[in-house]
Amino acid sequence: MTEKHYILEEADPAAFFGVNNANLRLLRALYPKLRIIGRDNVIKVMGDEEEMAVFDETFGRLERHCATFNTLSEEDIVGIVKSRHAESDAPSDVIVYTTGGKPITARSLNQRRLVEAYAANDMIFAIGPAGSGKTYTAIALAVRALKNKEVKKIILSRPAVEAGEKLGFLPGDMKDKIDPYLQPLYDALQEMIPPAKLQDYLATDVIQIAPLAFMRGRTLNDAVVILDEAQNTTTAQIKMFLTRMGWNTKMIVTGDRTQIDLPASVKSGLTEARRILGGVEGIAFIEMNRGDIVRHKLVTRIVEAYEHDARLAQERRQAAEAAKADTAAEDRPQP
């Protein structure tokens, strides 16, 4: 009798075992000469040596399928075991799959440009309005790189800029105070990585989420590094962040220039970076617009209304300045 232990390194054990271990029961039925036991992320297999050799190859394909799609159905198992399909390769336009097995793809022209720019450049700026998928697409690209072992870690950061509230009024220690700023990043990760795996990644610093201030002094190698809400950085802060870049690292900077929460006297680092770095080789800028918004249809209407109001305000300011100039001209003594 042969005995072997298999460790689920990439796949989520809960998805692999199935509801109430239904997938394990199916594997036992398909391999009657083997005794298959699952516990935590380890599968213990004992039995006939020849059947073990067949199971050995099948297990690898099953795990890759589960790791890719974040799900493993009984139909998938039968198809792979009976060789009706080989390894399940994701379609070329799929970035990654959600924990429910749904494909995440670029859903607009500029989102596709962002995906293409990621492949061709080491630093990408994605600039656009709320709901245009900047952060979500960036995190999907990072998760794909981690799953494909292209990088060793994902680092996500945001500036902790107060928008109407003060950090001191929030309960808890510094981590508790900062977490609300980082919640949108957690939300995206939770859609793409199974809960147990995500907790493991966070506990072992494979995925790091930290405010921008914690980046100072670091060199970031073998990572996908994402800076979200970059419109709320100062010029000094974004320069500090961009110069953290190390070997085999990709940086994605996202932001919306219409949602700057900095004091009026402080220039946005994102705006300055767009002006200064526009022609630098290896850096791509993707400008998104309201046509890329993929949230509720009201979000598009809200963005349009605010843009219209901003245009009217600009026109009123220009008219007032022109009237003031005409009055000043009339008041000047005539020669």
Tell me how far the alpha carbon of residue 262 is from its chain's centroid.
Answer: 25
What is d(CA 268, CA 236) in angstroms, rounded to the nearest whole number?
10
Residue 163 pLDDT: 43
Q: What is the mean pLDDT of residues 271-297?
A: 84
pTM: 0.74
Residue 91 pLDDT: 61
| Residues with Cβ within 8 Å of residue 93, at least 6 apart in sequence | 105, 106
Q: What is the mean pLDDT of residues 148-170?
A: 72
Contact 257, 270 (CB under 8 A): yes
239-268 residue pLDDT tens: 999 999 999 999 999 999 888 888 888 899
Residue 90 pLDDT: 53
Residue 177 pLDDT: 61
- Per the listing, tokens 């009237």 go with 323
- Please tell me what DSSP assigns to residue 90: P
Provide φ and ψ at 23, rounded to 5°: -70, -40
Residue 242 pLDDT: 93
How high does pLDDT run on average in the chain? 84
Q: Is the pLDDT of residue 165 over 50?
A: no
Residue 291 pLDDT: 73
Q: Is the pLDDT of residue 118 over 90?
A: yes
At 140, the pLDDT band (50, 70, 90 cuts) reads very high
Candidates 58, 94, 91; CA nearest to 76 is: 58
At 226, the pLDDT band (50, 70, 90 cuts) reads very high
Q: Is the pLDDT of residue 162 over 70?
A: no
Q: What is the mean pLDDT of residues 115-133?
A: 91
22-33 residue pLDDT tens: 999 999 888 888
What is d(CA 228, CA 253) in angstroms, rounded to the nearest whole number?
6
Reduced DSSP (H G I as helix, E B as strand, rest coil) percent helix, strand, coil of the chain, to 5: 50, 20, 35
Phi-psi region of 101 (alpha: psi -120 to 50; beta: other; left: phi over 0): left
